[in-house]
Amino acid sequence: MTAAQAAFFAYAILSRMAYVLFVGGVLRREDRDHRYTKRYGRAEAFRRFRRTASIIMNHDAFALVVLCVATRGTWDLPVRAAVSIAIGAVLVIIGLATKLWAARTLGSNAYYWHNFFDPEAAIGPVSSGPYRFISSPMYTVGYLPTYGLALIFRSFPGFIAAGFSQAAILAFYFLVEKPHFQRLHRSS
């Protein structure tokens, strides 16, 4: 790996860390002491958080795409390029379709953790859409596009970053999101 490729790899990893640490930190503070809703009110706190979180999330996705493009051809696979591109494209389609299906099932506010800012408006446990089959489709099947992109570009650093990204979001899920949801819906 060249120095430039290593820099793109570090950029992608740091972008993911910024994502999970910012979102996780804000949501934990909000869950613990309602810091932002006390200061701005529920609607404004959520609006501010959503705006910043979406910028960070989009930047994180951009960083992974840039890494895969900058490190294309660094993964010597035992299959022809057409095969890895086809498999990668299928992973992208399945993952994006699952993510969109899950987001549509929950609504756009849930996609941005609205229940941290307005617990009374939170929807209960969902068992429709992809949630019929898997408890966390966004963070499991929904991450297939990251691996698919690495396959399409044959980017080994991209594949490693995809694995890191999924591990980081799963850690966020188990440390921040799931405990909040369980507290919110104890009686459900």
Helix (H, G, I), strand (E, B) or coil at 61: helix
Distances (CA, A) of 183 to 116, 124, 131, 142, 188: 11, 11, 19, 25, 10
Please report the pLDDT score of residue 153 as a whole number: 98
d(CA 135, CA 81): 34
Please report the pLDDT score of residue 187 as a whole number: 54
What is the average pLDDT score of the chain?
94
Please report the pLDDT score of residue 186 as a whole number: 81
Q: What is the pLDDT of residues 18-72, one digit of tens each?
A: 999 999 999 999 999 999 999 999 999 999 999 999 999 999 999 999 999 999 9
Please report the pLDDT score of residue 161 as a whole number: 98
Q: Does residue 147 have a pLDDT over 60?
A: yes
Please report the pLDDT score of residue 146 as a whole number: 98
2-28: average pLDDT: 96
pTM equals 0.91
Report the phi/psi class of residue 93: left, alpha or beta, with left for phi > 0 and alpha for psi in -120 to 50: alpha
User: Do residues 13 and 60 lie in contact, with contact meaning Cβ atoms separated by under 8 Å?
Assistant: no
d(CA 116, CA 50): 12
Q: Does residue 100 have a pLDDT over 70?
A: yes
Q: What is the pLDDT of residues 130-146, one digit of tens each?
A: 999 998 999 999 999 99
83-108: average pLDDT: 94
d(CA 154, CA 76): 7
104-116: average pLDDT: 86
